Amino acid sequence: LQLKKSSLRTSVAAASISSAWLRCGDGFQNTSMLEKHYCKFSLDESEFIDWEKDSDSTDESDESEKDDRSLEISDTDSCTNLNSLPVQEENDELCKLAEISEYSSDNDYVEEVDMQATDPGFIKKLQSSFPSSVGEVAARPASDWLKSAQALLQTPKKQSGKASKTPEDSAKKRKLLRGGLAERLCRLQNRERSAISFWRHQCISDAKIPSDKSGVLIVKILEMFEECMIQVAICQQLEESPAIISSKDLVINTREPIIKVLFARETAAHLKSRPQDVIHIYPPWQKLLLKNADIPVIMNTYFSQKVLLSEHPETSKTQGPTKMLIRKNIVSLAQTFKLDDFDNKQPQESPDNQVRLIDLVLTPAFCKKLASRSLGAVNDSLLEMVESQGAVGWREVQVRVVIQRVYYLPAREGFRSQIQGNKPILFYRLCLLVQDAYGMFSEVQLQCLESAKDLEQYCKRWEGKFCCLAGMKILQRTTRGRALGLFSLIDSLWPPVVPVKVPGQSQDPEMMTTNLPPPSFCYVLTVQSGEIHMEVDEEERISDLYQPPTVRSLKEILQMSGCNERCSFWARVLYLRPQTKHSVPVNQREMLLFVTDFTLQSVVRGIPKVVAVSVTASCVLSTEIIEALNVASRFIFFKDALWGNGRIICVERTVLLLQKPLLCSAADADLSELPGPVKLDELDSTTQANSICAVRGTVVGVNESTAFSWPTCDRCGNGKLELYPQDSGLLYCSQCSEVVISPVLKMQLEVFLSCPSQSPSTVKVKV
Amino acid sequence: MEKPPGPCCGTGGTLPAVAEELLKEMRKAFRETSHGTDPFSFRLKFIFGPSAVPALDLVDQRSVTRVVSPSGRTAYQVLGSSGKLYTCYSSCHFCTCPAFGFTVLQKSESLLCKHILAVYLSQAMGACQELTVSEEQLTSILLAEEEDEG
């Protein structure tokens, strides 16, 4: 029923209305169906007016401010749309006729109405003809309808004034920002609206309950009240619709679950429900589980239908007009909304909705869930899935891929809003690098988590396994030039170890794929928020396509040519030196790790015994790794670090693990042990800055003038302690906001050593 | 169609909890992907009705500013579509716009006005502008309406 606004603005063209009926906006295929059953429509078809008015307001935001104003008569009254008029006229007219078979004459009437629509006198004529049917459900007195109808006809343009208006209303009508959230919502709601209106007509036309029962929620209303124009109904969820509904059926079966169903104003008006009514709620409805309440809340219940109590529509009509009193709840304004929650749990813990990532195994319950979700056949081409996005049924298409790598990426910083201030919090996004049977890669971004933990588990459980993806959204299509980091990782996995399929050609098992060029583009996909569409088959074998990281020795790596190559190694971290200050937020911390391995220790000369690996801020270290690094020196597996310009750096997509993965293609020697106690290079003229070395010598002097000591906080290491204001005998750490009971004393001393190897010069060591 | 409002008790208070949950979800969805908020904004529309789209529009236009003073007190200022600046309180739901006075206070027809909703949405999506002012300035912002009416 979305008649074009422009046509109305000018004038009601003769052919416009009836043909508009026939070619009606979104989805009305058969107008005869509509017209047949208008008897059942009440004047609450004014919903249409409401919506249409709202749709006007999609372009001009101040239009909807009128809706903010609650007028004595509902919004529907300020109908500024000529649309509504013929609809209502049709309604009344057909009601009067009330016979389905007289469609042809109706049609004629439509046209007649059409041509005379601009005549105010005509309205009066109509009005007088059907006084009773118009007032079928006295949502409004007929005279009001008449008044508004007249107003409509006289000023086809939008009415701009109604009661009290803020200065904002009178401001210029503003278009919504293109691509902005508001515009997107408008588009969504317009689509929904037409779907809803079409559906309502559908329902009326099949007087019986539609046979498609999937996803239908059947509820019986126990109690109703209203809060801020939303009708809240406490209901019982029924398994199936009761065959006979008798009003004597007041016994509440306590075993059936109680739910709260919210109905929007228009839906409530359409339903005119009262306690003991049975309502069918068709999908898509949404369920919300509140944290503190046991009762789930159902919303977006636009597609609701009341099960009629009796066979005769007329009798229900006569029952209809009695007004029902509803209690109205006043909501306190004193309670504000707290948006920050500090726990990692998803708000909806309902098993229907969420599966915790770590538990994504094929448990029997999960299998049942999979079976119930009607996913389509399994595909093996990512490209096909990507290209079919948006087409009908794409959501059900599953793609089977191999998980090559699992890692965390630093995600956008969020803000935790509090009364005191916005504290930035960091998020880490779990990602998978997957490859399909055609060799195409894709980075799949899963959920954002507040802490990067369990990465080792995910890697162990998922890498190399097959995985089915469904309903992914494309975040972007990135190219080599734009995502060097991602492509350096992809390059390390190219060429594929087994022949990959080539689209369009018969699969020749002997086809060599070494000649295929490495991919130049990659899709970044993301999981639809709130739903897991990824199933990892952990029980299955490792795919042949999987390329585990090639472990090399540090000596080999240092001698590698090439730039920006990914390399993996197993090394012992001797020392961690933070490169950024303590005060820098966690996500920007950089550090140097001094590492060594068997090969470096065994070398006599030529390459350093200890190498500095720099860890940049974009490399996400899991919490277990950070703890391990801080505690003691130990062996760490560096997966997919970057080698270039003579340096090894850990960037994004580099993963540090505590254990060597079982599947990596190991180098010859067992590199897990060092040949002996760690040896460091001796200090000499070639020693470079920022490297570790050993110095041996005799202390010959101390520079007393520069020696000093200072206390530091034993908790956080803060070197700037202050005097405690209340008691100047105590020290206070402002970072911990607490008194320091036992400060750690640090000293700085310059010591002169005389080293035999360096004689005659002396070495100054700052301790 | 409505009885005069009775005491708010027992089964009351559904909507605020739902609204709060919704805003939390939006915040979460926003973090995951900036396009992920669409299904949630649709729920927003369900709950908040006609305020939803204008509130989102205010967010798009970055109209919300969080005003802080050295003592830690805060208030929000929202630039309305007419160019008028409205003040929203942090500690309770209050806005100086006439729509709030009419729709929320007088008629209890809505939980929030579009400005307050815009404040929450801006918080959820990190779209608040920040402004630090002196104590005196914040005081005058909070008292401003009284002066105008006086």
Q: Is the pLDDT of residue A613 over 60?
A: yes
Q: By mean pLDDT, which of A84-98, A486-500, A564-578 is the weakest?
A: A84-98
Q: What is the pLDDT of residues A672-706, one digit of tens each?
A: 566 666 666 666 666 666 666 766 677 777 777 77
For A362-387, write each residue's pLDDT tens digit: 334 444 444 444 455 677 788 877 77
Q: State the CB neighbour count (10 A cutoff) for residue A584.
A: 13
Is pLDDT larger for residue A408 or for residue A541?
A: A408
Place of tokens 């070395």: A693
From B64's Cα to the closest Cα of chain A, the distance in A is 14
- Distance (Å) from the alpha carbon of B87 to chain A's nearest alpha carbon: 15
Say if the Cβ atoms of B5 and A223 lie within 8 Å.
no
Judged by average pLDDT, the poorest of A170-184, A312-326, A455-469 is: A312-326
Using DSSP's 3-state secondary structure scheme, residue A459 falls into: helix
Contacts of B102 in chain A (CB under 8 A): 68-70, 164
Burial A449-479 (b: 16+ CB within 10 A, else e): beebbbbbebbbbbbbbbbbbbbbbebeeee
Q: Are A65 and A39 in contact (CB under 8 A)?
A: no
Q: Nearest chain B residue to A341 by CA: give it.
A: B24
Residue B88 has a pLDDT of: 92
- A481 or A397: which leads in pLDDT: A481
Residues A288, B36: C-beta atoms closer than 8 Å: no
Residue A119 reports pLDDT greater than 60: no
CATH architecture assigned to A560-657 = Beta Barrel (2.40)
Q: Is B120 in contact with A339 (Cβ distance < 8 A)?
A: yes
How far is residue A322 from each of residues A276, A304, A308, A316, A317, measured CA to CA in Å? 16, 21, 16, 11, 10
Cβ of A192 within 8 Å of Cβ of B82? The answer is no
| B53, B66, B111: residue with CB nearest A61 | B53
* More confident: A503 or A701: A701
- How do A398-410 and A378-379 pair as beta strands? parallel
Q: Do B82 and A234 touch (CB under 8 A)?
A: no
A/B interface, count of CB pairs below 8 Å: 269
Does domain A217-239+256-306 fall under CATH 2.30.30.100? My reply is: no
- Domain residue spans of chain A: 217-239+256-306, 378-412+425-500+518-527, 560-657, 698-766
Percent of all residues in chain A with a pLDDT value above 90, rounded to a whole number: 0
Q: Name the residue among A228, A345, A302, A252 with its Cα closest to residue B14.
A: A228
Give DSSP secondary structure letters for A53-116.
HHHHHHH-GGGGHHHHSPPSS-GGGS---TTHHHHHHHHHHHHHH--GGGHHHHHHHHHHHHHH
Distance (Å) from the C-alpha of residue A61 to the closest C-alpha of chain B? 6
pLDDT tens per residue across span A137-152: 334 455 555 555 454 4
pLDDT at A598: 81
Residue scoring higher pLDDT (A403 or A52): A403
Same fold, A378-412+425-500+518-527 and A560-657: yes
Interface of B with A in 45-84 (CB under 8 A): 45-47, 49-57, 59-61, 66, 68, 72, 74, 80-84
Q: CATH number of the domain at A378-412+425-500+518-527, out of 3.90.1720, 2.40.50, 3.10.290, 3.30.2250?
A: 2.40.50
Decide if B29 touches A, using CB distance below 8 A: yes
From chain B, the residues in CB contact with A176 under 8 A are 53, 57, 60
Contact B31 A414 (CB under 8 A): yes
Written as six digits, the tokens of A700 are 């010959």
Q: Which two tokens stand for residue A366?
A: 């999960």
The pair of three-digit structure tokens given for residue A724, joined into one six-digit string = 């405690």
Nearest to A576 by CA among A598, A558, A595, A553: A595
| pLDDT reported for residue B116 | 93
What CA–CA distances, in Å, run from A169 to A68, A69, A163, A172, A230?
11, 11, 11, 8, 25
Q: Does B110 touch chain A (CB under 8 A)?
A: yes
Q: How far apart are CA A537 and CA A543, in angstroms?
A: 11
Contact B103 A347 (CB under 8 A): no
Which percentage of chain A shows pLDDT scores above 70?
A: 51
Of the candidates B20, B44, B111, the beta carbon closest to that of A228 is on B111
pLDDT band at B64 (very low <50, low <70, confident <90, very high): very high
**Domain assignments of chain B as residue spans, ordered by start:** 17-149
Residues A328-373 pLDDT 10s: 777 777 778 877 754 433 333 333 333 333 333 333 444 444 444 4
